[in-house]
Amino acid sequence: MKFGIVVLPGSNCDHDALHVTRDLLGAEAEVLWHKDTDLKGVDCVIIPGGFAYGDYLRAGALAKFAPIMEPIRRHAAAGGLVFGICNGFQVLTEVGLLPGALMRNAHLRFASRDIFLRTEETDTPFTSELTEGQILRMPIAHGEGNYFADAATLDGLEGNRQVIFRYCDSEGRITSETNPNGSARNIAGICNPARNVLGMMPHPERCAEALLGNADGFGVFQSIAASLARV
């Protein structure tokens, strides 16, 4: 089991992802620089949060031109796991591995606080160790987390069960008040049709151990590890 943590100019959560995969999971983990063209045999690519290339133009827009992206596309097409967190989710929409776009938060302010998520689907490599409807508390930290797609795309995501996480309250209720950024249908995370690519705005790597006061995010990484062990 081997993880590859992508480092783009402006990434700032790469060390968090490296710590969780290497030190908490006990897996092999490799840093992948944005100019690399070889994924070095990794099983799961993680594109972490931050501000790739300064988020010039729009969040994640310039990252699609990074040399590392073409091997990531091939990895995903071959069934390999790709996990984008926050800025990584934005990058995945820009490179076309996930549909839709992440726009400015509806209230036009940077959002940085803990929120609640409801786990919608568990038949993915990223949620296999969670339970359907499980409520997770995770931090968010973004200015462009407002997930947008046209109605047909949203209906397709719903129909294919590609909405993996939604913003909710502590009881799992989905309301406009629990939506921290205006995302369509309270969407916090989606996967591709093949279910091997996941993007989510909240940060599971920042709440993966009790030392931090919250380990809810560790279940996502445990799911990945368990799914890879079953291959």
Is the distance from CB of 191 to CB of 162 less than 8 angstroms? yes
Q: Which strand (E) or helix (H) includes residue 226?
A: helix 218-230
Q: Is 85 helix (H, G, I), strand (E, B) or coil?
A: strand
Burial classification of residue 75, based on how many CB atoms lie within 10 Å of its CB (0-12 exposed, 13-18 middle, 19 or more buried): buried
* Catalytic residue list contains 94: no
* Catalytic residue list contains 15: no
Catalytic annotation, pick one of 75, 191, 205, 207: 205
Tokens at residue 121, please? 């689907």
* Catalytic residue list contains 205: yes
Backbone angles phi, psi at 151, to 5 degrees: -60, -40
Catalytic annotation, pick one of 13, 86, 168, 191: 86
Question: Distances in Å between the alpha carbon of 140 and those of 111, 180, 181?
Answer: 7, 9, 10
Q: How many CB atoms lie within 10 A of CB 177?
A: 8
List the catalytic residues: 86, 203, 205
